[in-house]
A and B are shown apart, each in its own frame.
Chain A
Amino acid sequence: MQLDEFFVTGEPLIYAGMVSIVLVTAAIIFVLTYFKRWGWLWREWLTTVDHKKIGIMYILSALAMLFRGGMDALMMRVQLAFPGMDFLGSQHYNEIFTTHGTVMIIFMAMPFLIGLMNVIVPLQIGARDVAFPALNALSFWSFLFGAMLFNISFVIGGSPDAGWTSYTPLAGAAMSPGPGQNFYLMGLQLSGIGTLATGINFMVTIIKMRAPGMKMFQMPIFTWSTLVTAFIIVFAFPILTVALALMTIDRVFGSQFFTLTGEGLPMMWANLFWMWGHPEVYIVILPAFGIFSEVIATFARKQLFGYKAMVWSMILIAGLSFLVWVHHFFTMGAGAFVNSVFSVSTMLIAVPTGVKIFNWLATLYKSKIQFTVANLWALAFIPSFVIGGVTGVMLGMAAADYQFHNSYFLVAHFHYVLIAGTVFACFAGLVYWYPKMFGHKLNEKLGKISFWFFLIGFHVCFFPQYFVGLDGMPRRVFTIIPEWMPLNVISTVGAFGMGLGFAIFVYNIYYSYRYSEREKSGDSWDGRTLEWATPTPVPFYNFATVPHVNSHDAFIEMKETGETTFDEEKVEPIHMPSNTGQPIIMMGIAFIASFGIVFEWMWMAIAGLIGVIVMMGVRSFDYDDGFHVEVDEIKRTERKARRL
């Protein structure tokens, strides 16, 4: 193999990317070495099994991915602003929209939410960690190595270019030769292992490890949304795993599952992909609903309205999410009857979703609304998401969908629900739980500036796309005709507004780290749920004494009765898991194996797979079952944290 087949050549933008990767890596290595931080990094972060630290690593990685996906988006918007624009060629544009979609869904939205779940869910249910802490670390490293594998494709080997949906036969070996598509398959496969494990982990954690007394219908709503999401993950991800594996075998070993040759069924990919892909969009929206519910209830200073209806509507949405996948290809010619069934079931999702919207409004009714930054994101979600929701119903009307399908109307709709739903929730959740994670709040003034830039930019960017779609502009074209220019120019301006909003958000992280007042108590917002009952920073064992829960909004009751999570009388030694380097090592080896498969270097793939199996053996014979934190140490830690 020639060097220029290994590295991507010929694109100035990509050369710039290579240079920046080298510079950033060198800078990180230099800083770590200069400040002698390698040992600290290994002990405190790379080998940690603490759910809070794992959550923070998830969120940081997701923010980096949001930056990458956002840069892709801005490049696309520049190319589409004017007809005859020559910023990106067709091939380069195709690669960029493919990586934009994949990165945003798989490596940004999902990990961001899983990060928040990791930090908060054990705290909300009064647990000291997740059910399987080492597996949790393994999940994170599988995600990170999967994401890295996918991300290096743009400098090594070439990016995938068949869209995030990766439809066969286009994505098959015949029409998309080279390693690009393999990066997609292996990147998703590797990170998918971790996602599935996370689903199982949270399912068990929430069902088995709740504080004494906490009934299912007393769990905080974010925990409920996590539980429902965990179920969707466990049922949906195996479909993706199998589909990816089949396509990998097609491409690497020459089988004919999805090919045009042999007995291949290319359309089967679309079915398998969306049987996972549709539930996937609920994997990224239900936790968002949970976050909004928490934030709105807290800053409305009121109990969530219709708690049970909120829970049941999430369960209903989760169930329906598996029954509507055909609405992604009404145009496949399945016939009027099939389309009718899927059309009606799709529109039915609007019913539980509508119930949720009205319940949020009712939560705000007769409340005292505080316009904190976290709450601004949550409030802005309601009207924005309604626009996305009603256009979703329009898309669900199959006969009309023949005109909407593959057009910018669709693009506008899914950005309206995914950004106003998931991305706003990521911001709301991060700002809301930030003091719990880092011991200080984010600056509210900068937060508001970034919020308004992002919100207005978002509407300016995506609202015109409904209309340009109705004017016949299809998605995924790299160049436009003059008739579509005015709306596209507006759209591009909006995209840069969002970019600016994000930049201010990131600056706010730095600014607040430097100048924000440190939190004195653990209860930064006068919260309602158990995570606020812990001191800030949260001790690694979370709760010195686990409270007994009798009601919904457990912390409200604790505040009324004067209960605390540090009852000196009741402190007992706490059993905690030991840190372990096995997860990162095992996933590092899996990364090498996957890289081998991407380039079809079987010696490397086989060596890597053997390494993974060896690591599984090492884990099986690992008899370290953790350690006990002694009473004295707990008392010392708690007194310091609580400034007693």
Chain B
Amino acid sequence: MLPLSLVLLLSGCSQLTVLNPKGPVAESQKDLIMYSIWFMLVIVVVVFVLFAYIVIKYRDRPGRGNKDYNPHLHGNTMIEIIWTVIPIIIVAALSVPTVQTLFDLEKPPESSTDKEPLVIHATSADWKWFFSYPEQNIETVNYLHIPTDRPIEFKLASADSMAALWIPALGGQKYNMAGMQNTLFLQADEQGVYDGRNANFTGEGFAAQTFEVYAESGEEFSNWVKQAQNAPELTQDQYNKLLKPGLTDKRTFSSTHLQWVNHGTLAGMDYAIKRHEEAYEKELHLKSEDIEIDATDEE
């Protein structure tokens, strides 16, 4: 196992999304993960070596007799204190950067404190994503455009079941819940298209609840915003239809649903349930290939 893990670590890690961050948030999490991995590897190596040595040396082989056999060896306070203190030191060494990072993640990334964060409301509904840009007054469904080198302040909420917004290349997830709003800061430093998804199980269409994040320069982003502002307005009627449990394509609107409901407030908590309760009874009969069709369907 150990050689295999080292080989995989050394060769494969650079391609693994989480260990190949595209922004400062994912970067700080990757640093923390790598820091812990070194500690853990040392622990694993020490235990494995000790284990292998002891199991081979003290096996009950023919002709060993009673050499090195001490059935009454059953305690040694000194050594037990040592192997209690060492783990405590390791836990302390892991706790300090963990707590530091935790507090850092509550704020926009340090690298771009000079810029105002772009506020995007990310609302999960069974089984799609609504991204509302209140300042730009636009709303997209199932895709996201963001400027690079500027913090994005996600306001997370859910219209129905509990979901989690996760864009592994940009940073870790937080829950989307109805009746409560969470804040998640993410930022992209490199331009590109990143996969985002709902990571928390929400039922039948869960696997299909994915989206793409287009990270582009500030200029390109402004151009896209202008384009989007020419899209038709979102009516409440249309929004209610989109909220209904099921899958849907990518959409663009030149207004947001926040003008009549914010699912992250207590007032908006039962909005979707009240309108669609009977719709949850119908099955989607989702097959694997349905999802692939959906994913290749370009904007």
Contacts and interface: CB of A to CB of B under 8 A. Distances in A.
Interface stretch (B67-75, B110-118, B130-138, B145-153): B67-75
B40 A403 contact: no
Nearest to B32: A400
A467 B37 contact: no
A399 B101 contact: yes
B175 A403 contact: no
A357 B102 CA distance: 30
Contacts of A382: 47, 51
A368 B87 contact: no
Given A169-B178, A471-B16, A474-B166, A90 B287 contact: yes
A163 B162 CA distance: 13
B10 interface: no
Contacts of B48: 383, 386
Interface string A478-494: 11010000000000000
Contacts of B19: 470
Given A175-B160, A387-B1, A470-B17, A331 B58 contact: no
A472 B287 contact: no
Q: Which of A90, A266, A379 has the most CB of B within 10 A?
A: A90
Contacts of B101: 399-400
B171 A477 contact: no
B15 to A, nearest CB: 8
A174 interface: yes
Given A399-B101, A470-B19, A260 B286 contact: no
Contact of B178 (A163, A177, A260, A329): A260
Given A261-B274, A336-B106, A405-B199, A305 B206 contact: no
A371 interface: yes
A390 B1 CA distance: 14
A342 to B, nearest CB: 11
A361 B179 contact: no
Contacts of B51: 361, 382-383
Contact of A261 (B58, B60, B161, B273): B273
B248 interface: no
Interface string B47-59: 1101100110011
A307 B80 CA distance: 11
A367 interface: yes
Contacts of A340: 98-99, 102-103
Given A86-B288, A333-B180, A333-B182, A365 B58 contact: yes
B222 interface: no
A407 B201 CA distance: 11
A304 B42 CA distance: 26
A303 interface: yes
Contacts of A391: 40
Given A306-B74, A368-B64, A471-B18, A394 B40 contact: yes
A355 interface: yes
A335 B254 CA distance: 34
B219 interface: no
Contact of B80 (A178, A355, A407, A479): A355
B246 interface: no
Contacts of B298: none
A309 to B, nearest CB: 5
Interface stretch (B227-235, B236-244, B276-284): B276-284
Interface in A33-87: 83-86
A339 interface: yes
Contacts of A574: none
A401 interface: yes
A4 B135 CA distance: 52
Contacts of B179: 260, 266
Interface string A169-199: 1100011111000000000000000000000
Interface residues of A, number: 98
A476 interface: yes
Contacts of A387: 1, 44
B256 interface: no
A272 interface: no
Interface in B190-220: 195, 197, 199-207
B1 A463 contact: yes
A294 interface: no
A400 B28 CA distance: 9
A302 B73 contact: yes
Contact of A89 (B43, B54, B272, B285): B285
Given A354-B83, A397-B98, A475-B201, A329 B175 contact: yes
Given A354-B87, A365-B54, A474-B197, A175 B68 contact: no
A470 B172 CA distance: 11
B255 interface: no
Contact of B172 (A94, A354, A371, A402): A402
Contacts of A308: 75
Contacts of B33: 394, 400, 403
- Please give me the 3 A-B residue pairs with the lowest Cβ-Cβ distance, nearest first: A402-B172, A399-B101, A333-B182
25 contacts: A84-B288, A86-B289, A90-B286, A162-B203, A174-B280, A175-B203, A177-B281, A261-B273, A266-B179, A302-B73, A303-B72, A305-B74, A305-B75, A309-B75, A332-B177, A344-B98, A366-B68, A367-B58, A368-B58, A393-B94, A399-B28, A400-B98, A402-B174, A403-B173, A463-B1
Interface of A: 83-86, 89-91, 94, 161-163, 167, 169-170, 174-178, 259-262, 264, 266-267, 300-309, 329, 331-333, 335-336, 339-340, 343-344, 347-348, 350-351, 354-355, 357-359, 361-362, 364-371, 379, 382-383, 386-387, 390-391, 393-394, 397-407, 459, 463, 467, 470-472, 474-479, 481
Interface of B: 1, 4-5, 8, 12-13, 15-19, 26, 28-30, 32-33, 36-37, 40, 43-44, 47-48, 50-51, 54-55, 58-60, 64, 68-76, 79-80, 83-84, 86-88, 90-91, 94-95, 98-99, 101-106, 126, 156, 160-162, 164, 166, 168-169, 171-175, 177-180, 182-183, 195, 197, 199-207, 269-270, 272-274, 277, 280-281, 283-289, 291-292, 295
